Structure 1
């Protein structure tokens, strides 16, 4: 698991905060194009470069697919419990289940390192658009992709070299309209400082997920260390234990993962008709298998919990996306917006000549997507089905094979020395692996690959030979030695000769089969990625020509800022209030899962203040990846941590509805009350500056 620390101070120091138009509270804005004037006019705030931005320029943190924030001078990081549950699970064993019982050390010395977690602090952003666009000019297909990859790799290596304390990444914005180099400082010692019981953090379970009202303490604390010492973090958000107020302007700084708001109608239709349905069918069946696996016993239930949570969370998220894409009004709006842009281009002969007709080109590309998606998904992009042991083996085998080639001919993920160093670090991590769970995931992938590609498919015959998916998965998962990090690193360090000489069954299987994904990948890049990138680049140019900088780019898991207010909503005649209170937790509890109280909360019922604001909603525009983002008031103080969206927000991947879309956050008031009267951790309260 990677933890990316993004220091917004570095970004804000570069930002001019140009004013631009925004619709409602829409937008996951880059810091160099945040609509400051619009926000100030709408909410009466006084955000400027010298005042509020100096307070907002504090570290933002994102644990593997999430976000978070540094909230003390001693490297203390606030995030969601669901963002660190894999760490909590890795620290647990059959005798000590910290997921169910919580992790709450009484002193800093008792904090334990999260296996496999790394942190990165964003230090600088540089625009590299001209370099990247020039590299692909005049090229087609694979040559276009390779040229873009090569120049991005060169930019990254020039900036970071072989310094393994730094990471450099070229990120695309506006679907290829702009590129920027993000430079990070790496940390490899991240420790768990506090995590409540799973039942307290996820009260209401899957039925309440993406719904509201909520009564969840979805919060946890990590701490950053270097060379065995706490990392000093003088730039941090100030903890405000006061509750939010209705109508209060709030800001969310974090790393939203991925949105598709700039896709064309043809691309959205393919997602609706092919890609989402296929993935949802598999998630649905895998969910059932994981539930059955957990019913075998307490240990199986424990090791499957994090994986099951991820599958259920993804299933509901894509369910919401499917609803949006099936909504006639929603797609009608998308068609109108696309027609408006195309008409504006057509009305300008010079622009039309420069842009051409990328929309029709993308319609044509979708026929290739339909043809290639299943083999590409099953044999390459989703190969292994989430099996950790398979992923180790494929990384080792590909690193060995790619390492024998010149850098310019390698797969991009194996082309840089920094990338290989990071891979070796991941292989050396002592993260526990459940062979039993891995066997389930590997067998499911093999069976679905046979089902979707058919038994007579040559790739399927190579994968399975004369074995069944379940039998092969059992042989590989129980026979491999890759659960040992020393074995993994020895194979990695030994290169191709050591890998080919290995008798490990998982290594031998991957040596024989990993090439099956290379041809679908090459076809995908040639017929989908390259023409899509080229067409999207021209659509981005058209958008800039017509709308200027009044629009924000799609989310790319890079630092963004959204604005909004604490506000409920109305739907079909029902008014939903913006805040819930701790007292509502006890009223909602039934004693049966998923509405049973965590034991510490049941015992503390007479001590806690039932009037404390627990969770709240706001109009901020967020998406997956924003989980754990700090919710900041106009004074630059953290007053909550975003952990969810309401059911209406799930279509936010494709568009924002200011009337219905809401961010769901846990309040710092609730976290403070819990630390004081439920968990009784005065050292954390003192560190947060709370009396």
Structure 2
């Protein structure tokens, strides 16, 4: 089974780690504050640019090449014709949507050989940041008068709406305003969102997902994790809905791509939209994550993955339907495993407790501080105890109950039933039914009822057996008694009688509702169960969860104020919240355990070594890639007979940073971030510079695959390739820079060879 294989690999690979004192390159920094907080340190570490070169409102800067890709990943502009680079796993859903058994782009890859072949992706967006602004005073105006967190939040939301309206009135821009440091500060991002984003190219999964779940979160890595899209614009280069008349977007800046590669200790910068970190959690929270939440979610997802894996191997149709879903489920399943082991190995709970003891001593040393912070730790303890039974209930509803696609889909019919129960006008009921009808095709395209039925039996069994019965919805307790714990029998009955297991059945049910048959939905067994679980969640779990988290938000806001007062010499960065950030570090190896050192880069040689292993499905490669390797046909992208594939650096990243550009000291693209090492997955909670590494696919490997493997050299011709330390800033006229698939000149070759010899000499001296 897949879990056994991966756990065996984990057992062999796991290494001990610890948390050391924070160093300056920890953190995910706000671009507009780089000048005052980070510029000097970044330049000492090798950056050749200024803070203004990275983020500017008055002139083109690196920020103008960065996009939020779909709201879940990052992408970067790499040509003056709107070409966008992101990860293969970020574009995987789009590749999957365009794939069929006959045209299996997941397996074979996809390459548009001209712009007419590029594929539209309804709903996919690319969002640029126009500018940032500190709006703390405006947003917090009047908030001090609030008596409760709910009142405070209502005032804040009113202020946010007012500021957003004033900031974007009369423009096509939007504004995003988010809290930082638990609501102590607020920043606004003015955004510009493009809605016509087309698929241009993606390597076959044997390259884009090489290593699969076996290598996920691991180093050494050999994955060509990239895909290409293109942004299209309407008149005046502004956002427009899809139209065949749209033209390729002309970015304010696109990143030139370095052919010089990386060497140890090179400065690196990651620019992107990291999703979520919790660096300032107390020991109470980490204990809950480590002891309660992560173990439950790991167990549930492991069970589901085994079922999906078996069915996907048995059917190409199911494989295509579930490819993106499987990858998404597996990604955080393995991350949580690594995170828990990392937290334990690093003694993270104990270290947080030490900080809290230090904080208490600092508070008790001053009567004024004692008045403000004296009860803080006791209140944290009280509120986390109030979550006993609540957190685990929520996790099982989200992961087990809603991990069943039928249950999650049926829950979406709740509003329709509410309209029926409230005797709403038939026109409103019909409108909601038609809305559900329009969405049915999208859901059932990637749904296989026989597979989901197996998932139902397994996950409902976990839900029923793993929780204290008093924490279960009455409908689940009753089902356990009725079927005597045999949820396979329950699955057979529910899936045979429900109309919501097929598109035709769903449309029939909705037709009955529109015809005035008021009991049609209520009597459907899948909806009845889903509605019972949802009602239990909203009445028995969510109120306490929301109330306690409101309390905790106030406590953390106060705690952050205290920590910053106690550690005035420390530069604090806000937790990631899907807004634009800069992280910086350097290219460097690491020592996962005594006597073992991992190099900072990998090559095509490693792919061949892994491909030679037997019995590992994730290490299969295309024959053409093997042919190119045997001939050493690397074009201008290889170096001294090697083809670089990936490298690591000490940049602080997390989910959402997938697809982020890794940029060198001169502002040039050297790689695309796609993962972290397993030893560093706990960096969302505790960063350790000795162990945490972000993993990037080398830009030269990306170019090699596009040009030599895919034969899509016309795409490389759009790009700006550089072979020296020329600045990657907009003032360099990138459209006039040399960028082609032609072989390098003799002078350029000699320059690269000289650099390679220097690199080899430096490595020898280090060793």
Fold match, TM over 0.5?
yes
Kindly indicate whether residue 611 of structure 2 is the aligned counterpart of residue 586 of structure 1: no
- Tell me the residue number matched to 1:448: 462
Query: So what's the TM-score if we normalise by structure 2?
Result: 0.76
Q: CA deviation at 1:22?
A: 7.1
What are structure 2's unaligned runs of at least 5 residues? Answer: 1-20, 233-239, 423-431, 721-738, 741-767
Q: CA distance change for structure 1 residues 145 and 222 in 2, over 3 Å: closer, same or farther?
A: farther
Which residue is equivalent to 2:326? 308
- Equivalent residue of 2:389, what SS? helix
Give how far 1:403 is off.
Answer: 13
Distance change in 2, residues 1:44/1:348 (3 Å): farther
SS at match of 2:387: helix
* Corresponding residue to 2:285 among 267, 289, 302: 267
Cα distance in 2, alignment partners of residues 349 and 180 from structure 1:
33
**CA separation of 1:565 and 1:486: change in aligned 2, threshold 3 A:** farther
Post-superposition offset of 1:230: 3.8
The 3-state SS of whatever aligns with 1:233 is: coil
**From 599, 610, 614, the counterpart of 1:577:** 599
CA distance in structure 1 between the partners assigned to 2:668 and 2:699 by the alignment: 10
Deviation at residue 155 of structure 1 after TM alignment: 5.0
- Alpha-carbon spacing, 1:442–1:66, altered in 2? closer, same or farther (3 Å): farther
Give the counterpart of 1:209 among 203, 208, 216. 216
Q: 1:289 aligns with which of 307, 310, 317?
A: 307
Structure 1 683/319 Cα, relative in aligned 2: closer, same or farther at 3 Å? Answer: same
**3-state SS, counterpart of residue 583 of structure 1:** helix
**1:483-517 CA distances to partner (integer Å, 9 max, x unpaired)?**
769989x979x999999875894556555553222
From 557, 567, 592, the equivalent of 2:588 is 567
1:369 is paired with a residue whose SS is coil
Kindly indicate whether the alpha-carbon contact (under 8 Å) linking 1:26 and 1:656 is maintained by their aligned counterparts in 2.
yes
Q: Within 1, Cα distance between the matches of 2:286 and 2:609?
A: 42
Equivalent in the alignment of 1:656: 687
Aligned residues of 2:646 and 2:695 also touching (Cα < 8 A): yes
> How well do the aligned residues superpose, as a CA RMSD in angstroms?
3.9
Match of residue 79 from structure 1: 86
Which residue matches 2:572? 551
Of the structure 1 ranges 352-361 and 43-52, higher mean CA displacement relative to structure 2 is found in: 43-52
Cα drift, residue 454 of structure 1: 5.7
- Name the CA distance, whole Å, in 2 between partners of 1:108 and 1:30: 36
1:176 and 1:403 map into 2 onto residues whose CA distance is 40
Identify the match of residue 55 of structure 1 among 51, 58, 61: 61
Deviations 1:84-139 (A, max 9, x none): 21221121122222111111121121111235433433344444445358547553
Q: Deviations over 1:144-201 (max 9, x none)?
A: 5863785477458746999997655442322332233444334433221111111112
What is the correspondence of 1:170-319 to structure 2 with a 5 Å cutoff? Answer: 170-225=177-232, 226=240, 227-228=242-243, 229-242=246-259, 243-319=261-337
- Partners of 1:66 and 1:626 within 8 A in 2: yes
2:406 aligned with 1:385, yes or no? no
CA contact (8 A) 2:199 2:229 kept: yes
How far, CA to CA, are the matches of 1:499 and 1:145 in structure 2?
41
Q: Does the Cα contact within 8 Å between 1:564 and 1:618 map onto a contact in 2? A: yes
**Count of matched residue positions in the alignment of Structure 1 and Structure 2:** 651
User: 2:615 matched to 1:598?
Assistant: no
Partner of 1:412 in structure 2? none
Q: 1:134 to 1:579 in 2, by over 3 A?
A: same
In the alignment, which residue of structure 2 is the partner of 1:325?
343
- More off after superposition, 184-193 vs 394-403: 394-403
Label 1:315 to 1:392 Cα distance change in 2 as closer, same or farther (>3 A).
closer
Q: Does 1:33 align with 2:33?
A: yes
Report how far residue 318 of structure 1 moved: 0.9
Aligned in 2, Cα 1:657/1:163: closer, same or farther, shift over 3 Å? Answer: same
Q: TM-score, normalised by structure 1?
A: 0.83
Bigger CA drift: 467-476 or 677-686? 467-476
For 1:664, what is the secondary structure of its paired residue?
strand
- Residue 448 of structure 2 corresponds to residue 435 of structure 1: yes
SS of 2:386 mapped into structure 1: helix
The aligned runs of 1:119-134 (5 Å cut-off) are 119-130=126-137, 131-132=139-140, 134=142
**CA offsets per residue over residues 282-326 of structure 1, 9 Å max, x none?**
122222222222233332333333233223321221112111221
Secondary structure (helix, strand or coil) at the match of 1:604 reads helix
Q: What's the counterpart of residue 14 of structure 1?
A: none
Q: 8 Å contact 2:271–2:662 — kept in the other structure?
A: yes
3-state DSSP class of the match of 1:194? strand
Q: Secondary structure at the match of 1:290?
A: helix
| 1:139 alignment partner in structure 2 | 147
Q: Indicate the residue corresponding to 2:353 in structure 1.
A: 335
CA contact (8 A) 1:40 1:47 kept: no
Checking the alignment, whether the CA contact within 8 Å between 1:25 and 1:563 is kept in structure 2 is yes
In structure 2, what is the equivalent of residue 45 of structure 1?
A: 47
Change (3 A) 1:111 1:578: same
Counterpart-to-counterpart distance in 2, 1:201 and 1:283: 23
Q: 1:673 to 1:222 in 2, by over 3 A?
A: same
Take 2:388 and 2:531, find their aligned partners in 1: how far apart are those partners?
Answer: 29
**Deviation of the 1:585 alpha carbon:** 2.3
Distance 1:681 1:363, change over 3 A: same
The CA deviation at 1:429 is 8.4
Pair 145,589 (structure 1): closer, same or farther in 2 beyond 3 Å: farther
* Shift, 1:341, TM fit: 3.1
Larger Rg: 2
Deviation, structure 1 residue 535: 0.5
Matched, 1:686 2:707: no
SS in 1 for 2:565: helix
Alignment of 1:482-561 (within 5 A): 505=524, 510-511=530-531, 513-548=533-568, 550-561=571-582
Check conservation: 1:450, 1:460, Cα contact below 8 A. no
3-state SS of 1:313 partner: helix
Distance 1:132 1:499, change over 3 A: farther
